[in-house]
Structure 1
Amino acid sequence: FELYRAGSMTALKRKILKPEFRDIDLTKPSNWLIVLKELENFGWGTFSRVENEIKIENCAVPIQYLRGYLESMFKVKLEEHKTQIEGLTVLIAQKQRKEEWR
């Protein structure tokens, strides 16, 4: 839970410190690649999106932290889908998340 919360707080801080994110509707999956490419540049892993799924390869941060970060950025609930492939995680968007303080 603490890792999730830390990721969520990091996302909130990032939104404040990166003014260009304010003008982009990150609740639209079509805009998610903007954030995902930035995370790739940070060295967090390799990201791709297909419809409501985010594929993460070789994630360098704990998945709970990443999930907290992405859920807060995109205001959506993400469910982790376990794969049989080592180093591959898929997060599936479930529904819009209400803004809440945990």
Structure 2
Amino acid sequence: MTMSTRRGFVGLMSAFACTSLASRGLAQAPAVCSDPATLPLSQRSRRRALGYTSPSNDPQKHCSLCAFFTAGAGACGTCQMLSGGAVEATAVCTSFTKKS
């Protein structure tokens, strides 16, 4: 092997290792569909009134299983109870109604 081939191989392996580590970190990061600090006061108040919690403590109750949830990109969606506000699929609120 020449020096340039070894350098290329080591560079390729380094890039692969970094990509693997980065993708693992992203896969474990929780979904963030909206920043609560940037939500309008009406949305923050409605979430508080409905007991919106992310993530849900009950594996049988979360937004992706709710009749008011509409799936969006990734692990995000919208909720009719929150006037179409963005929610995480793993969240839940007191208005949870299981899809039929």
The structure in which a higher percent of residues are strand is 1
TM-score by length of 1: 0.28
Query: Quick one: higher RCO (CA 8 Å, sep 6+), 1 or 2?
Result: 1
TM-score by length of 2: 0.28
